Amino acid sequence: MFKIAVLPGDGIGPEVVEEGVKLLRALDRELNIGFVFETALIGGIAVDNYGIPFPEDTLKTVLNSDMVLLGAVGGPKWDNIEVSKRPEQALLALRKNLGVFANIRPVKSIKPLISASPIKPEIIDGVDLIILRELTGGIYFGEPKYRDREKAIDTLVYNRYEIERIARVAFKMSLSRRKKITSVDKANILESSRLWREVVNEMSTDYPDVMIDHLYVDNCAMQLVRRPKDFDIILTENMFGDILSDEAGAILGSLGMLPSASLGDKYALYEPIHGSAPDIAGKGIANPLATILTVALLLRYSLNREDLAGTVEKAVEEILKEGYHTADIKMDGKVVGTKEMGDLIVKKTLEILEGDMR
């Protein structure tokens, strides 16, 4: 049995998560995997109902789960409330409480979408990289944090053990990929980056077959647009990873396609990279594919079902190849809504599975 805590959140969150759950239920019916779902509130909707963005009940639900599937949080309605009640705080508290320090953000070009990218097709075709972002440390969490009218302080802290455990994930992961890691920092300026670089270099002696490169984050931002295919694993700290992953999404053509998995020693958190898109919420037009690809990551990392993960990813590619897409993607073919896209993916996934079983 697998206990999945479902946190739809705000904006388009509930719409896209519904399609992800639809797919999981369909797989469960077909293969008797044994998923049990429990839904809880997080973000603005929790502020509206409980007065806080991350209620005790929600914490209990996630701590009692094997994995969490989250939609998105936030929106203009809650932009002006006090900092401690901001929906984004809930997301940080969730990540911290689950101890999910390793955020995996795969960025892979999908053939039918290559024309949707603002970058030349020959630069995009074949991109296959992972941004491995440290998720529970750095400037997002450092103390002191301080603010008065004249002065504001944020603190960037990294401990050796925090760098070691994320670097370890990178090296292990690279063994089943192209054995190439680009560690991204700002070691010409930041002390925390100099420690980062030192730890990564020390660990690399345990992995003589893995090629390790160091890039300053500003340079990396440029190289990512110029030669994205050269990257395999980008290993970086919390805020640099946040920024680079939006950039990577943009070069592929749509942030609406990027999934993520966050892993720790005990828990796992799965969420699409995109935000709550309040401007299109409730209209049934949001792109559920990032969430559906996030479900593929859940199958890969929490269930160890590489076969099923691959099947879902293939279904997504097939459906796009047939020309079906949501309105956010600029390509020829037929525009469909959120639910219709979810149905198409379920149908295609089951078709591929049946084909494989025959």
Task: Establish whether 246 is a catalytic residue.
Answer: yes
Nearest to ligand IPM of 231, 270 (CB atom): 270
DSSP code of residue 25: H
The order of strands in the sheet holding 2-9 is 35-39, 2-9, 67-72, 268-270, 261-263, 102-108, 128-134, 233-236, 180-185, 211-216
Nearest to Mn ion of 242, 328 (CB atom): 242
Give me the 232-251 binding string for Mn ion, x by CB under 5 A, dash otherwise: ----------x---------
Angle formed by the axes of helices 306-321 and 289-301, to 10°? Answer: 160
Give me the 337-356 binding string for Mn ion, x by CB under 5 A, dash otherwise: --------------------
In the bound complex, what is the minimum distance in angstroms from residue 253's beta carbon to ligand IPM? 18
Peptide bond into 208 cis (omega under 30): no
Query: What is each CA distance from 27 to 32, 80, 320, 348, in whole angstroms?
Result: 8, 41, 21, 12
Amino acid letter, residue 347? K
Nearest to ligand IPM of 75, 112 (CB atom): 75
19, 80 in Cβ contact below 8 A?
A: no
* Rg value, the chain, Cα: 20
How many Cβ atoms sit within 10 Å of the Cβ of residue 284? Answer: 13
Picking from 345, 178, 173, the residue whose alpha carbon sits closest to that of residue 257 is 345
Task: Establish whether 216 is a catalytic residue.
Answer: no
Quick one: what does residue 88 bind among Mn ion, ligand IPM, none, with the CB cut-off 5 to 8 Å set by partner type? ligand IPM
Q: Which of 57, 79, 125, 246 is catalytic?
A: 246
In the bound complex, what is the minimum distance in angstroms from residue 339's beta carbon to Mn ion? 26
Name the residue with the smallest CB distance to Mn ion.
Answer: 242
Sign of CA dihedral 134, 260, 278, 89: negative
In the bound complex, what is the minimum distance in angstroms from residue 88's beta carbon to ligand IPM? 4
Task: Establish whether 10 is a catalytic residue.
Answer: no
91 is an interface residue for ligand IPM by CB under 6 A: yes
Backbone angles phi, psi at 83, to 5 degrees: -50, -45
Q: Which of 10, 185, 232, 242 is catalytic?
A: 242
Q: Which of 10, 22, 140, 158 is catalytic?
A: 140
Nearest to ligand IPM of 145, 330 (CB atom): 145
In the complex, which residues of this chain contact Mn ion (CB under 5 A)? 242
In the complex, which residues of this chain contact ligand IPM (CB under 6 A)? 88, 91, 242, 273
